[in-house]
């Protein structure tokens, strides 16, 4: 890790520091009177619509496209500055990767035929999600009424079971070879368009459906012989995407009980997962270009996750249970730690220095004082603004980006759901872009998860995994930001 920190380009960090230093002044001068009024006016839930925002999408426009292209250019510049070997960057791969993202966004978000197709896929996904409710009713439903009573309608009972069910369902698809065929088809497309090695194409496609430690199983025989750049691509792809099980959970608490909202977020989360695959390749190959020879062979490992389909379901259920318990435990600990930090910052430092009153006044009580949400909001706001997030929402989006990176995406999505339900977002565009920004495992905890998970498959690569961990997390974050900038063009 220390070697990796030393290798990150000093110029890149210097420019970022300058950006964060001058941004508040530049942004303050650039905001219109209407925007400043929107930022300084407290928003109540009663003023918002049922979708959680105040101003709907303006659709595809010259301004939205230019803001999106500016955001893409900014991310390319950062990736270039952080590159380990700028002369070896394959610009054809970069352009094709960005082109694939834009093409996916155009088809899914702007072409009626493909929009109906993705809506159909999302509807099928939601129907599958609804089957979990029958199992929940059986376990937690009242004998008298046959339904889950109101006191039991909470996160643990309504959200976490979807993680268990989808883990088992994914294992079943894997056992019958259905998932491998989907992965192979997508990998073949990426290999042909971006000229990747066979192993990294399979890993990138696998990350669309599987988690960051499950996808490497598809290429287990190749990992020991992968080049440094290929390993970087493997890790970055895991950081930039999410697993099917947690995707189902995000749909549940972002969409709530509204079928239309569930469909809305399912569509964007699925689209984000697909777009993140080429985005991660672009970020990884810019930060660590390929300089060694690699193999074009592309064969999926035939390793089974069970001797029969019942064992596959059992194994998937066990994995899902461990994941659900882990998610619940992490949320419990993270929320408690955030509360502790906020008590120290706001209850002690802010209270005795008078900073609480200054911050509350400056933000028109959007932030009650010196707390972690406020600090992360101001740190992440420059990035949010550069990507194309409207000025009045950049603090909220910056806050969520920071929470995702420092804590994890699950915690950030829960906070996004609460902010959405409270009517804190002004623009629909901000909600959509945030959905894409948070759609990835890129956080500090994932570095350890990948070192342990992938390292178990290829023990000789543990040193390289440790060295590339921070770079991969940054590349995964940049990939998520790429997808957000592209999606923002259509809002």
The 3-state DSSP composition of the chain as helix, strand, coil percent (nearest 5) reads 75, 0, 25
Give the tokens for residue 421.
């339900």
Residue that is written with structure tokens 């025989």 in the block:
221
pTM: 0.84
DSSP for 210-227, written as a single string: S-TTTGGGGGHHHHTT--
Contact 445, 410 (CB under 8 A): no
55, β-bridge pairs: 427
Give the tokens for residue 387.
């990507």
In this predicted structure, what is the pLDDT of residue 44?
44
Give the tokens for residue 246.
């947690």
**Closest residue by Cα to residue 51 from 485, 424, 490:** 424
Contact 359, 369 (CB under 8 A): yes
In this predicted structure, what is the pLDDT of residue 189?
87
Axis crossing angle, helix 462-488 with helix 62-81, rounded to the nearest 10: 160
In this predicted structure, what is the pLDDT of residue 384?
95
- Cα 152 to Cα 133: distance, rounded to the nearest angstrom: 13
Measured CA to CA in angstroms, residue 411 lies from 115, 269, 338 at distances of 30, 16, 11
Q: pLDDT tens track of the chain, all 491 residues?
A: 444 444 445 544 454 444 444 444 444 444 444 444 444 444 444 445 556 777 877 778 889 999 999 999 999 999 999 999 999 999 999 999 999 999 999 998 888 898 899 889 889 888 888 888 888 888 888 887 878 887 777 778 877 888 888 888 888 888 888 888 888 888 888 888 888 888 888 888 888 888 787 788 788 888 888 899 999 999 999 999 987 778 888 888 788 888 889 899 999 999 999 999 999 999 999 999 988 877 777 777 666 667 888 898 998 898 888 888 887 888 888 889 889 999 999 999 998 999 999 988 888 888 889 999 899 999 999 999 999 999 989 999 999 999 999 888 989 999 999 999 888 899 999 999 999 999 999 988 888 888 888 888 888 888 999 999 999 999 999 999 999 999 999 98
In this predicted structure, what is the pLDDT of residue 22?
44
Extended strands (E) in 258-332: none
Contact 219, 187 (CB under 8 A): no
Contact 246, 327 (CB under 8 A): yes
Terminal-to-terminal C-alpha distance of the chain: 39
Longest dimension (CA), the chain: 71
**Closest residue by Cα to residue 247 from 217, 261, 233, 267:** 267
**Any residues with CB less than 8 A from the CB of 169 and at least 6 apart, and which?**
128, 244, 316
Residue that is written with structure tokens 């065929």 in the block:
181
Q: Which residues of 323-361 are buried (b: 16+ CB within 10 A; e: fewer)?
A: bbeebbeebeebeeebeeebeebbeeebeeeebbeebbe
Residue that is written with structure tokens 């194309």 in the block:
388
Give the tokens for residue 409.
């995406």
Extended strands (E) in 32-159: none
- Cα 182 to Cα 184: distance, rounded to the nearest angstrom: 5
Q: Where are the domains of the chain?
A: 2-13+34-336+432-488
Axis crossing angle, helix 462-488 with helix 372-387, rounded to the nearest 10: 70
In this predicted structure, what is the pLDDT of residue 92?
93
- Cα 236 to Cα 224: distance, rounded to the nearest angstrom: 17
């Amino acid at each position: 890790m220390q070697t990796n920190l030393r290798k990150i380009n000093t110029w890149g960090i210097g420019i970022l520091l300058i950006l964060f230093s001058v941004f508040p002044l530049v942004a303050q001068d650039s905001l219109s009177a209407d925007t400043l009024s929107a930022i300084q006016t407290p928003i109540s839930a009663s003023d918002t619509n049922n979708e959680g925002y105040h101003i709907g999408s303006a659709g595809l426009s010259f301004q939205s496209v230019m803001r999106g292209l500016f955001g893409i250019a900014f991310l390319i510049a950062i990736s270039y500055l952080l590159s380990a070997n700028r002369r070896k960057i394959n610009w054809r791969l970069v352009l094709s990767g960005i082109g694939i993202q834009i093409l996916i966004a155009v088809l899914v978000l702007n072409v009626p035929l493909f929009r109906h197709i993705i809506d159909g896929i999302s509807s099928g996904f939601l129907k599958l999600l609804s089957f979990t409710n029958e199992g929940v009713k059986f376990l937690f439903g009242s004998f008298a009424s046959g339904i889950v009573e109101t006191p039991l309608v909470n996160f643990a009972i309504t959200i976490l079971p979807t993680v268990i069910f989808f883990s088992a369902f994914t294992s079943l698809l894997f056992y019958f070879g259905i998932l491998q065929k989907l992965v192979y088809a997508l990998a073949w497309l990426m290999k042909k368009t971006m000229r990747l090695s066979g192993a990294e194409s399979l890993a990138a496609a696998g990350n669309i459906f599987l988690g960051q430690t499950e996808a490497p199983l598809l290429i287990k025989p190749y990992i020991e012989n992968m080049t440094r750049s290929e390993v970087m691509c493997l890790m970055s792809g895991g950081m930039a995407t999410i697993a099917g099980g947690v995707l189902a959970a995000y749909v549940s608490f972002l969409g709530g009980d509204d079928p239309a909202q569930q469909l809305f977020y399912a569509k964007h989360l699925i689209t984000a997962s697909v777009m993140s695959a080429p985005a991660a390749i672009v970020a990884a190959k810019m930060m660590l270009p390929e300089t060694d020879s690699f193999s074009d062979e592309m064969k999926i490992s035939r390793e089974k996750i069970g001797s029969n389909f019942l064992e596959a379901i059992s194994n998937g259920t066990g994995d899902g249970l461990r994941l659900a318990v882990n998610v619940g435990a992490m949320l419990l600990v993270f929320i408690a730690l955030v509360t502790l930090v906020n008590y120290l910052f706001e209850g002690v430092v802010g209270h005795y220095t008078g900073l609480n009153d200054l911050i509350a006044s400056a933000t028109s009580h959007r932030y009650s004082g010196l707390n972690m949400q406020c600090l992360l909001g101001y740190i992440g706001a420059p990035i949010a603004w550069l990507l194309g997030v409207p000025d009045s929402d950049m603090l909220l989006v910056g806050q969520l980006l920071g929470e995702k990176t420092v804590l994890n995406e699950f915690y950030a999505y829960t906070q996004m759901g609460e902010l959405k339900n409270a009517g804190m977002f002004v623009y629909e565009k901000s909600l959509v872009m945030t959905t894409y920004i948070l759609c990835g495992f890129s956080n500090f905890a994932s570095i350890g998860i990948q070192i342990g998970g992938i390292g178990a498959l290829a023990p000789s690569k543990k040193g390289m995994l440790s060295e590339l961990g921070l770079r991969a997390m940054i590349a995964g974050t940049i990939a998520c930001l790429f997808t957000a900038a592209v999606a923002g063009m259509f809002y």
